[in-house]
Amino acid sequence: MNAILQHEVISKVVNPSSVEKLSLLMCPPTLYEVSYVINPWMQGNMGHASRQRAMRQWESLYEVLSELADVQLVQPIAGSPDMVFTANAGLARNGVVAISSFYYPERQGEEPHFRAWFEKAGYKIVDLPRETPFEGEGDALFSADGSRLWVGYGTRTAESSHAALSGLWDAEVTGLHLIDPRFYHLDTCFAPLMDGSLLYYPSAFDAASIEKIEAYYPAEMRIAVGESDALSFACNAVNIGKTIVLNLISAELELELRRRGFEVVQVELDEFLKAGGAAKCLVMKLTPELHRAPREGDEMERKEKSEAELIALEEQYGAHNYHPLDVVIERAQGAWVTDVAGRRYLDFLAAYSAVNQGHCHPVILKAMVEQAQKVTLTSRAFRNDQLPLLLRDLHELTEFDRALPMNSGAEAVETALKAARKWGETVKGIERDQTEIITCSNNFHGRTIAIVGFSTDAQYRAGFGPFPAGFKHVPFGDADALRRTITPQTCAFLVEPIQGEAGVIVPPEGYLREVAKICRENNVLLVVDEIQSGLGRTGKLFAYMHDGITPDVVIVGKALSGGFYPVSAVLSSTEVLGVFQPGDHGSTFGGNPLACAVARAALRVIVEEQLAERSAELGVYALARLKEMSSSNVVEVRGRGLWLAIELNVPARPICEALRDRGVLCKETHETVIRIAPPLMISREDLDWGLAQIEHVLDERRVENLDAHSTRSEADAFAPVA
């Protein structure tokens, strides 16, 4: 049981068999945020919600309710952060559901998804007119015996909806006028309890409504709460039998509820108060008969998806060209991923900087889905309406004249190499087939034959020769070596501003400035590979900007699509990319409309969410904190922005495995280096938590015996997802 729960709730939950088994609908808060203002609680909270904390609080509530009821789940959709508040999905009874028609456009996108869920579950669906706003169980609550339907109005649900609701069930519809905007839905201030009593906040209603309430509920059956408890949404309670589940309340109210025979389960839900919700807002009551109990085969299906079996299938049928950590990821959102067993991990790798924007960013997802429903591929045999817009966006953002879109990073590197060689012959005048390109030792630019041919890593080359000629190496960070190596046949110098695969190696101060000067003096193209370092990772849009230079060619990829689709590009001047003529170079998928729409959205997110600036701020903080670690096993901590590395004097793999077991995913490189590169949208809270796990694992008292400290701790690191 999550530690957030109060008062050892398991011991206080009544035996589920003693009450009628209810069915409830909930939605995980994997996309929860406060991104707009449609009630007073959201005011001042935009951008301040913690999805991690919300998830943990929601899971605590889910765990309690699962003890008492059959909880069904509907999955959230991008662009609908309030979908977690399923009370507003509709009002269901006896197999009929009145679908909500939301007052605010911000929530209207939820309607078709809730509709689809109810249709699949077998409900008879009733639509209320769009001009008659109705927000489901949030504003419509049955009395304990079902004879009366209390319906709130005045803020969201229209009074005119009452007539439409009156004919759906055999219940008298009674309207209650809400007059305090803080209590914008009826369920925020009014809770009919199963024993026939009422928990309510009188000040939320006008005088006429109070008369109706008092006429129905005798004084001894009314439990009026004070303002303090009301503002904690004490009335936003889930009542099942003699158990009441709600947010934290005063000792006085708890005592009163217990005096009346209720078991009180308090679950901290303050993260949802930022959006104006608590326990009842997160739950909708369903028709139990339509939701079957799990069948024997369901458990078998779950077992077939087990982590061990999936790993075995991959090992049996896949080529063994990777050595991944044994965690099987099923879904992800933001900076967090979830494995097939429901364990959650903080991603400190971000797919090698491909998901700088965070996993499954809703803006990029929306762009991808919309474009996928129109046209995905035309080939370059025909034009499409997205490629010109991406080319324009890249020009306006980077100020390079032209771009040539490709797919993978390696393809973009190959494209840059071809452009540089052809420029060398056609513009610089190097003799045919005599061009030379200088690269750096310990480079990593991809896995093609040409690229591994100029690698200095023996494993990358072993068994793949013979390799194309025309490449030379110089030590990374040594500008004088570059000067000495240039000849009249040199057309380009290919360099990573920071060497990522080599271990996040940052060159000496001023290195790129000196390199750019040398290249200008010798009419050599400076080609900068920003596939990992670019698009915000190091604290600027591109890493070369730290040195105040402008390269001749820039290669981008990975975060250019935000992790949704392989998109890369070569950026350069008309002089360089103008050497290509029709037929010289191409790609069936390069520049396809789906890729371009995704890339445009990914770029907008980087700019609008100021991810480069965020990386700069958090990177300085994280680097300083890591340098303060006390461990005899740490040789060096280095990096720039949120691209960091810890170099060790012991193997890094066991430490990465220990971090995995504490809920943080990192990956080793070159045996003794741990790379740290979380999504740039990571919250300070999440970053702190992840760094604390690293500090714990690297504590020198634990490094000596990692096996004794690698047991997965759900209490410390994980919040199981249902």
* Interaxial angle between packed helices 593-608 and 362-372, expressed in degrees from 0 to 180 and rounded to the nearest 10: 160
Catalytic site includes residue 433: no
Say if residue 44's pLDDT is above 70: yes
SS3 97: strand
Q: What's residue 339's pLDDT?
A: 87
Could you tell me the sign of the dihedral formed by the alpha carbons of 154, 160, 161, 167, in that order? positive
Which residues in 685-712 are b (16+ Cβ under 10 Å) and which e? ebbebbbebbeebbeeebbeebeebbee
Partners of 22 in the β-ladder: 69
Would 4 be classed as within a structural domain? no
Position 9 pLDDT exceeds 70: no
- Domain assignment present for residue 502? The answer is yes
Counting the structural domains of the chain, the total is 3
pLDDT tens figures, 331-351: 898 999 988 887 889 999 999
Give me the pLDDT at residue 293, please. 52
**Over 70: is that where the pLDDT of 292 sits?**
no
Q: Is the pLDDT assigned to residue 18 strictly greater than 70? A: no
Predicted confidence (pLDDT) at residue 567 exceeds the cutoff of 80 = yes
**DSSP 3-state assignment of 143?**
coil
Residue at 96: amino acid letter = V
CATH number at residue 535: 3.40.640.10
Catalytic residue among 139, 529, 552, 661: 529
CATH of the domain at 645: 3.90.1150.10
Handedness of CA 532, 538, 542, 544 (dihedral sign): negative
Q: Where are the alpha helices (DSSP H) in 318-457?
A: 350-353, 362-372, 387-398, 409-423, 449-453
Gap between the Cα atoms of 422 and 572, Å rounded: 14
Instruction: Tell how far CA 668 is from the center of its chain.
Output: 23
* Mean pLDDT rounded to a whole number for the chain: 89
Domain shared by 252 and 109, yes or no: yes
Which of 4-8, 36-40, 87-91, 124-128 is predicted least confidently? 4-8
128 pLDDT more than 90: no
Query: Is the domain of 158 the same as that of 32?
Result: yes
Q: Do both 84 and 176 map to the same domain?
A: yes
Q: Is the pLDDT of residue 702 over 60?
A: no
Residue-level pLDDT at 495: 98
622 & 605 share domain: no
Active-site residue, 718 included: no
pLDDT at residue 16 greater than cutoff 50: no
Look at residue 481 and tell me if it is in a domain. yes
List the domain range (segments joined by +) for residue 650: 312-359+612-717
User: Is the model's pLDDT at 161 over the cut of 50?
Assistant: yes
Query: In this model, does residue 458 exceed pLDDT 80?
Result: yes
Write the CB contacts of 462 (distance below 8 Å, at least 6 apart in sequence): none
Same domain, 493 and 580: yes
pLDDT digits over 370-406, tens only?
A: 999 999 999 999 999 999 999 999 999 999 999 999 9
Given a cut of 60, whether residue 701 has pLDDT beyond it is: no
Q: Pick from 203, 211, 208: which is nearest to 235 by CA? A: 203
- Tell me which of 183, 233, 262, 444 is the catalytic residue: 444
Given 285, 422, 558, 667, which residue is catalytic? Answer: 558
Among the residue ranges 35-39, 187-191, 346-350, the one predicted with the least confidence is: 35-39
- CA dihedral (237, 242, 248, 252) positive or negative: positive
Determine the pLDDT at residue 302: 52
Q: Are 162 and 139 in contact (CB under 8 A)?
A: no
CB 658 within 8 A of CB 706: yes
For the cut 70, the answer to whether the pLDDT of residue 703 exceeds it is no
Whether 238 and 343 map to the same domain: the answer is: no
**How many other CB atoms sit within 10 Å of the CB of residue 77?**
19
444 is catalytic: yes
**What length is written for the chain?**
722
Average pLDDT over residues 242-258: 95
From 238-252, 273-287, 302-316, 697-711, the region with the lowest mean pLDDT: 697-711
CA gap 496, 280 in Å, rounded: 53
> What six digits make up the tokens of 526?
């400076």
Residues 625 and 571 in one domain: no
**What are the Cα distances from residue 154, in Å, to 139, 166, 181, 497, 508?**
10, 18, 9, 60, 65
> What per-residue confidence (pLDDT) applies to 343?
83
Residues 154 and 250 in one domain: yes
